[in-house]
Amino acid sequence: MKLRTRIFVLWLCSATTVLAQTPQQGTYGAEHTNVLQLRAGYGTQLDTYLSPLAFRGWQVGIANEWWQPFRQETKLGKTGRLAHWGHVGRLDIAAANYTNSARSNSFYGVQIAAGWGAFYCRQWFDNRLKLHLGPYLEAGFMARNINNNVNKPLSFDIAVDVMAMGGVSWSFYGTKTSYRLNYLIRTNLIGFDYLPHYWQSYYELSQGVQGLARCSGHWNHHTLKHELTLDMQFPHSTWRLGAAHELNDYGTADLHFSRNTVCLVLACILKYRLNPNARL
């Protein structure tokens, strides 16, 4: 009886352990890739609302970018319809200090851009070569405060764009390290932007004098963002080093806005999975 009792107790403990672990098996979310970036570079800015002269100077900022496939636990994922699909989100914050060519005036600027997109990804050569394409929705805003202009001290870039994005990457490996070369590109297709009238001051908006909100696209507003980076995975960390270029050009017959910046990119890459059923 004692032997049977011990066997029963051991079986009961084992069954309890399995039952306690069963709800957590297979509940891990899709793998997330988080890229935290530091950016610093040089650029030019033309804003004829504030000044007819071009401004040049530096720009620094931070960005956070996250990638993940659509969850495979969904019904569509099990049938394979979403097996090659993923999504990406991004947030950029930057500060700029620009001076005109005559050294007679300068401005400070704050730039914010946030976006989300879905993409279709294909892989070749044992997953070393990857290509992704898809739509991307981005909202962008930049405020500029010029030092020497009493009537029009402020200017804004405001736009929402449906963009096309794409990228290609190639992975290669060392003994204890791995590397990946990436090229990413985004360009606007259609959206809307906002422009003031040439003679209008922003305080006049509260008095009923409205600016121009219009449909925008390549015919009147051109945005291009692309970057070339190298990911380097070491035994305990993964880093990214590269360069990014942004071009934003739009306007009317009376006003012209243009921004052209090149930045050095330094980033730390983290990969993780979420387990919502883990004990606290």
Give the separation between CA 34 and CA 139, rounded to whole angstroms: 20
Give the separation between CA 155 and CA 195, rounded to whole angstroms: 9
Closest CA to 205 of 214, 215, 196: 196
Give the separation between CA 66 and CA 126, rounded to whole angstroms: 24
Judge whether 79 lies within some domain: yes
pLDDT for the residue 154? 86
Mean pLDDT within 243-256: 94
Residue 7, H or E segment: helix 2-21
Question: Binning pLDDT at 50, 70 and 90, where does residue 75 land?
Answer: very low
The total domain count for the chain is 1
Give the separation between CA 275 and CA 269, rounded to whole angstroms: 20
Q: What is the pLDDT of residues 104-160, one digit of tens each?
A: 999 999 999 999 999 999 999 998 999 999 999 999 999 999 998 877 888 889 999
Q: What is the pLDDT of residues 16-70, one digit of tens each?
A: 333 333 334 445 667 889 999 999 999 999 999 999 999 999 999 999 999 998 8
Question: Binning pLDDT at 50, 70 and 90, where does residue 161 land?
Answer: very high
pLDDT for the residue 88? 96
Judge whether 234 lies within some domain: yes
pLDDT for the residue 217? 93
Judge whether 54 lies within some domain: yes
Judge whether 6 lies within some domain: no
Judge whether 187 lies within some domain: yes
Question: Binning pLDDT at 50, 70 and 90, where does residue 81 land?
Answer: low
For residue 44, what are the contacts with CB-CB under 8 A and spacing of at least 6? 54, 55, 56, 98, 258, 259, 260, 261
Mean pLDDT within 187-211: 80
Question: Binning pLDDT at 50, 70 and 90, where does residue 253 land?
Answer: confident
Examine the pLDDT at 260 and tell me if it is beyond 70.
yes
Closest CA to 87 of 130, 128, 31: 31
Judge whether 60 lies within some domain: yes
For residue 212, what are the contacts with CB-CB under 8 A and spacing of at least 6? 194, 195, 196, 197, 252
CATH number at residue 142: 2.40.128.100
Judge whether 4 lies within some domain: no
More confident residue, 9 or 68: 68
pLDDT for the residue 21? 38
Tokens of 109: 């600027």
Q: Which of 84-98, 152-166, 266-280 is least confident?
A: 266-280
Judge whether 36 lies within some domain: yes
pLDDT for the residue 46? 95
Domain coverage including residue 159: 32-199+209-271
